A and B are shown apart, each in its own frame.
Chain A
Amino acid sequence: MTARRAGPLTRIALAVALLLTAAPVYWMVVVASRTSAEAADVPPPLLPGGHFAENVRRLFANPDAHFARGLLNSVLVSGCVALGTVLLGSLAGFAFAKLRFRGRDALLLTVLATMMVPVQTGVVPLYLIMLRLHWQDGLQAVTVPFLVTGFGVFLMRQAARDVPDALIEAARVDGCTTLGVYRHVVLPVLRPAAGVLGLLTFAQTWNDFLWPLVVLSPDDPTVQLSLNNLATAYYNDYALMFAGASVAVLPPLALFAVLGPRIVRAVLSGAVKG
């Protein structure tokens, strides 16, 4: 079996696609490294300038953006949610894949069904629940409800199916408890898929906008809300806003640069299709 060869037309088309993908990010960096006056120049600047550090300084000094706080909050929240999703998802996934218990299939079907529920539907009462718990304006509100998802459980269950049953039996014979089996046998096999799930969850939480906007206060924001603070409070100082956008984009993108190839392989092998 041989793959088709890429002809010149294909190469040109792919180059255009790559250009379209990269252009907005490139433009963001150009403007973020210029003065705000240069950003509005005609014709527009096409190369990055030397003001990036200065713009970032202005960003962190800005009294309305609360950018440092937003960055710290986002790291905390995204990290906790990603960890929680991987941990709780892999435990449940392991149970669904390798343990026999009554009602297992029905429960797994329920997990799948929960993936179809759009978040927005529950947002109004969820907010009232947060008020009742006195969680509004606090990081718990954007963390606890999302510590595990149906997607996470399902993805981990698919991956855990690859664990050979013989290995599990052998571990049991050696006296491992169920948790011991999880730790010593299942977890090592799950690691690649767990990395994918962790990154996707981190990025998703990092990028979340609606729910933080509802439940957090602008003076104790996530990084996306910091961007929103900039966009709603200031004259269009694009150098400042794009410096903020650059910083906000960076952490997930850096993670993706490291884990990206593995994720793409996972997608291509059909693991992330739902």
Chain B
Amino acid sequence: MRRSTPYLLVAPFFLLFLAFGAFPLLFTLWMALHDWELGSGTRRWVGLGNFRYLATDADFWHAVVNTAGIFALSTVPQLLAALVLADLLDRRLRGAAALRVALAAPLVTATAAVALVFTQLFDSDHGLVNGLLGLVGVPPVDWQGGRLASWTALAAMVDWRWTGNNALIYLAALQAVPRELYEAAALDGASPARRFWTITVPLLRPTIVFTAVVSTVGGLQLFTEPTLFGAAGAHRMDGGAQHQFQTVTMYLFESAFGQDRYGYGAAVAWALFLLIVTFALLNALVLRRRTGGAR
């Protein structure tokens, strides 16, 4: 084996990553220190000006709250449902294999297509969701207009996509749990719910932390669903007239590509990066403590 061969084998990855991953990441910081417009050709050093503006930019923080809100509304029920699903799937059942495949399938369906379908389901006038709510006497909800309502609709889209996939990941971890633990607990007279909380959840702790971190990284970058959710209305990157469902990435997109403020867009991108890191760490810490409490 020639000395250089291994390096040649790993080189494509590192070259591509350097050119299209690492370099843009650092260049974002450089851009964020400038007023950078394509239309006028402006490229002026402003130091931390963009970041100072960002810190007091009500629209940016509004988008942060939206993103975090949608994230919380989607992730908590999603992971809980996935845990329960995994527990249910971890039993003897005919057709279990096919069922698992079916539950994981949403992950490969196109996000844009799903968003179109859900947007129609949540249509305020003619949507099926309001129709069903009407059957049980609930007055129609303005899914796009309300802040919480729009978050809920978006959370539904996210959860439809990810719950089954997370259930499979939990199931994988569950299958490594010794059955004897359950049998012993059952003999001790522990109810199924109690067994779930005292055995399943603690043993799955590392996996739960892992899925929570993955959801954080994905959830805080939410873009496709809200963009298409607002596609039928005016200025779709605004996420509604009150920006009620504008996410940070939409704000980034609008600032840079829509309004030709590339420097400011870069500053938003860095803020988003820091947010993701912070949230991911926070989640990992909190979950580690919470789920470990039962031991």
Residues of A bordering B, CB below 8 Å: 1-6, 10-11, 13-14, 17-18, 20-22, 24-25, 27-28, 31, 40, 42-44, 88-89, 91-92, 94-96, 99-101, 104, 107, 110-111, 114, 116-129, 144-148, 150, 153, 177-179, 199-200, 203, 206-207, 209-210, 213-214, 223-224, 227-228, 231-232, 236, 238, 241-242, 244-246, 248-249, 252-253, 255-257, 260-261, 263-264, 267-270, 273-274
Q: Is the CB of B10 within 8 A of A95?
A: yes
Q: Is the CB of B171 within 8 A of A124?
A: no
Residue picked from B22, B102, B113, most chain A C-beta under 10 Å: B113
Tell me, rounded to whole Å, the shortest Cβ–Cβ distance linking B186 to chain A: 9
Q: Is the CB of B249 within 8 A of A236?
A: no
Contact partner, A101, options B6, B21, B128, B164, Cβ 8 Å:
B6
Q: Is the CB of A245 within 8 A of B110?
A: yes
B191 at the A/B interface (Cβ < 8 Å)? no
Chain B 1-33 interface mask (CB, 8 Å, partner A; 1/0): 111011101101110110111111101100100
Chain B 217-241 interface mask (CB, 8 Å, partner A; 1/0): 1001101100110011000100000
Residues of B bordering A, CB below 8 Å: 1-3, 5-7, 9-10, 12-14, 16-17, 19-25, 27-28, 31, 84-85, 88-93, 97, 99-114, 116-121, 123, 126, 128, 131, 160, 164, 168-169, 171-172, 175, 178-180, 182, 207, 210, 214, 217, 220-221, 223-224, 227-228, 231-232, 236, 249, 252-253, 256-257, 262, 265-266, 269-270, 272-273, 276
Tell me, rounded to whole Å, the shortest Cβ–Cβ distance linking B103 to chain A: 6
Tell me, rounded to whole Å, the shortest Cβ–Cβ distance linking B165 to chain A: 8
> Complex formed: what's the CA distance from A253 to B102 in Å?
10
Contact partner, A236, options B9, B105, B106, B232, Cβ 8 Å:
B232
Q: Is the CB of A125 within 8 A of B266?
A: yes
- List 24 contacting pairs A-B, 8 Å CB cutoff, sorted by A: A1-B180, A4-B91, A4-B92, A21-B106, A22-B102, A27-B117, A95-B10, A120-B252, A120-B272, A122-B269, A123-B24, A124-B28, A124-B31, A129-B24, A200-B108, A210-B249, A227-B228, A228-B228, A236-B120, A248-B112, A248-B113, A264-B100, A264-B104, A267-B169
> Complex formed: what's the CA distance from A129 to B30 in Å?
14
Q: Is the CB of A261 within 8 A of B172?
A: no
Closest A residue to B220 by beta carbon equals: A118
A-B contact count (CB 8 A): 286
Tell me, rounded to whole Å, the shortest Cβ–Cβ distance linking A74 to chain B: 9
**With A4-B182, A116-B217 as contacts: A14 and B99 at CB distance below 8 Å:** yes
> Complex formed: what's the CA distance from A22 to B105 in Å?
9
**Which residues of chain B are within 8 angstroms of A88 by Cβ–Cβ distance?**
12-13
Residue picked from B110, B179, B276, most chain A C-beta under 10 Å: B110
Closest A residue to B24 by beta carbon equals: A122
**Which residues of chain B are within 8 angstroms of A206 by Cβ–Cβ distance?**
110
Residue picked from B116, B214, B276, most chain A C-beta under 10 Å: B116
**Which residues of chain A are within 8 angstroms of B22 by Cβ–Cβ distance?**
114
Q: Is the CB of B171 within 8 A of A268?
A: yes
Residue picked from A40, A203, A267, most chain B C-beta under 10 Å: A267
Q: Is the CB of A273 within 8 A of B12?
A: no
Q: Is the CB of B31 within 8 A of A252?
A: no
Contact partner, A147, options B14, B16, B207, Cβ 8 Å:
B16
Tell me, rounded to whole Å, the shortest Cβ–Cβ distance linking A139 to chain B: 15
Q: Is the CB of A114 within 8 A of B231?
A: no
> Complex formed: what's the CA distance from A244 to B115 in Å?
13
Q: List 4 other contacts, CB 8 Å, given A148-B12, A214-B253, A253-B109.
A: A122-B20, A203-B107, A231-B232, A273-B207
**With A96-B10, A260-B105 as contacts: A224 and B110 at CB distance below 8 Å:** yes
Tell me, rounded to whole Å, the shortest Cβ–Cβ distance linking A215 to chain B: 10
Q: Is the CB of B224 within 8 A of A267?
A: no
**Which residues of chain B are within 8 angstroms of A18 by Cβ–Cβ distance?**
99, 102-103
Closest B residue to A74 by beta carbon equals: B110
Tell me, rounded to whole Å, the shortest Cβ–Cβ distance linking B224 to chain A: 4
Contact partner, B97, options A4, A31, A261, Cβ 8 Å:
A261
Contact partner, A231, options B131, B228, B269, B270, Cβ 8 Å:
B228
Q: Is the CB of A263 within 8 A of B104?
A: yes
Tell me, rounded to whole Å, the shortest Cβ–Cβ distance linking B99 to chain A: 7
Tell me, rounded to whole Å, the shortest Cβ–Cβ distance linking B222 to chain A: 10
**With A40-B126, A231-B228 as contacts: A121 and B270 at CB distance below 8 Å:** yes
